Chain A
């Protein structure tokens, strides 16, 4: 069961920022606020760094528990800490 639910890794990722998505999320959350022109790029940068840190932390957790696969618990533990 574990094997079947493992997601394959992609080697290539796109580096574009989903600017429309970010703007929409912000608008939906805070309709009264406005976001500036290049503000969503910085938001994207922030997201990247957050995801990067989260992934590193979960990877560390998984390695420490000697698992070959990153589990839900590893991610949760990483999220709780940060």
Chain B
């Protein structure tokens, strides 16, 4: 008895089914089958339970027995059960995969019961139906990339476009958009296996919940709405509320776009906005003028390409924060949101730094009363705040290191104490460095002064050199910068 299965025995499921089916009264026709029948009768109950699990967990004897059963089943399949194997396999498929409306393999399956005379065709069909079971497993694996892929919407769009062309011949019973993404991805992946396309979404209806690519449409709609609204309001002469609210954002756009030489991609936006801007500017109040002036001064400072982004974001933030302006916050913020959303996907770069800088600039602006149309002392009002915070933020880095080195829970007061210690330490450090540099007749503090400092502190000794400490405590990138190392081409970096 050679351990050889011609059909490969892909799954224990098929094995089981074959065992169960071949245990029908048809089986005992051959002497082998008698033995097999006896074996089967013995092992059926046990193996049926175990085979349903995993073949690997079965003991060797039983697996061998199962294989022998399978072999005998195959022998019988070849001889007498040719009629049954396609049918039984079909039954198996129908049992195991009830929901999948298999289209292509139906053509394979349907002619299967018909030509029961020719053996090789049956074998092929059995193999074909076996292959059906493979894709059952495949979709589960391909669904994983299908789940990952939707994160990239661009890819999905392209795939859907591609899939629309490919799916012309194949019927799509599901909704075109919703499941097309899920099914398109998996179907494009499964095309090579020549398997059903849409049942993926049928099998896993959860995937259908993935939202279709709505963004592009929304942006277009918003642009249209924006154009409509930007053109419409100045003419009917809406109250200054809306204008003052919109004037800011419109000014932001105008300034941003005017300063930039080339409209990035929002030239369509720019034109209607320009119209709105011109008309709005005429009707602006001092408030709006002063705001625009401030925005101009603030706008020219940092990079210009990023201005519109920062402006829109800031205006959005302003509107959302409900500044002291007497505007209908709903309308203005809604428009700002719309415009910002329209702008943001077009202007790709997002600049949180410019946003923060704008916030600092913008905060004092609405605060002063409308009468004071003078650039307020921006630096003074926002001075004390940034002076302390970055200092504390930098110190907090070392405070965290302290708590890490201590390896014990600490009280907050203790951490404050550590901050004070660090402050004092930095002062002492700078004084010492100054003295050392002056001693060497220099005005620049060089690494030699640092080494001397560490030697005085007792960190660097004759046994422990500075390089050793550098290697021990600093990450590799800094070590590269500090310790001179020879490189190819007879060069040493950093130069000694």
Contacts and interface: CB of A to CB of B under 8 A. Distances in A.
B391 interface: yes
Interface in A25-69: 25-26, 29-30, 32-39, 41-52, 54-56, 58-59, 62, 68-69
B445 A33 contact: yes
Contacts of A34: 443-445
Contact of A5 (B407, B408, B412, B450): B412
B446 interface: yes
Contacts of A42: 447, 450-451, 454, 466, 470, 482
B220 to A, nearest CB: 43
B462 interface: no
Contacts of A14: 397
A42 B413 CA distance: 29
Nearest to B404: A13
Nearest to B416: A72
A35 to B, nearest CB: 5
Interface stretch (B54-62, B287-295, B319-327, B422-430): B422-430
A36 B450 CA distance: 11
B411 A7 contact: yes
A35 B445 contact: yes
B494 A38 contact: yes
A5 B427 contact: no
B474 A18 contact: no
Given A7-B415, A70-B411, A43 B429 contact: yes
Contacts of B413: 5, 71-72
A9 B418 contact: no
Nearest to A17: B478
B414 interface: yes
A75 B430 contact: no
Given A9-B403, A58-B406, A70 B414 contact: yes
Contacts of A75: 414, 417-418, 421
A69 B412 CA distance: 11
A7 B410 contact: yes
A8 B406 CA distance: 12
B408 A68 contact: yes
B219 interface: no
A48 to B, nearest CB: 5
Interface class of chain B by DSSP: helix
Contacts of B415: 7
Given A38-B494, A50-B425, A75-B414, A59 B434 contact: no
A47 B398 contact: yes
Given A34-B445, A72-B413, A48 B473 contact: yes
A54 to B, nearest CB: 7
B459 A49 contact: yes
Contact of B450 (A15, A46, A51, A76): A46
A30 B434 contact: yes
A35 B430 CA distance: 10
A36 B401 contact: no
Interface centre among A22, A29, A75 (most CB of B within 10 A): A75
B390 interface: yes
Given A25-B391, A75-B421, A45 B473 contact: yes
Most buried by B among A2, A13, A46: A46
A70 B406 contact: yes
B394 interface: yes
Contacts of A69: 408-411
B447 A39 contact: yes
A33 B447 contact: no
Contacts of B425: 47, 50
Contacts of B408: 9, 59, 62, 68-70
A49 to B, nearest CB: 6
A5 B237 CA distance: 59
A25 to B, nearest CB: 6
Contacts of A6: 409-412
Contacts of B390: 21, 24
Contact of B430 (A30, A48, A59): A30
B415 to A, nearest CB: 6
A8 B494 CA distance: 40
Nearest to A25: B426
B405 interface: yes
B402 interface: yes
A51 B417 contact: no
Contacts of B445: 26, 33-36, 39
B453 interface: yes
A63 to B, nearest CB: 8
Of A7, A68, A74, most B-chain CB atoms within 10 Å: A7
26 contacts: A5-B412, A6-B410, A14-B397, A24-B394, A32-B443, A33-B433, A33-B434, A34-B445, A36-B445, A38-B481, A41-B478, A41-B481, A41-B482, A42-B451, A43-B450, A46-B429, A48-B474, A49-B459, A50-B425, A51-B402, A58-B406, A58-B414, A68-B409, A69-B408, A70-B410, A72-B416
| Closest A-B pairs by Cβ, 3 of them | A21-B394, A55-B405, A42-B450
Given A7-B403, A32-B443, 7 more contacts: A6-B411, A7-B409, A13-B400, A30-B434, A47-B398, A51-B405, A71-B413
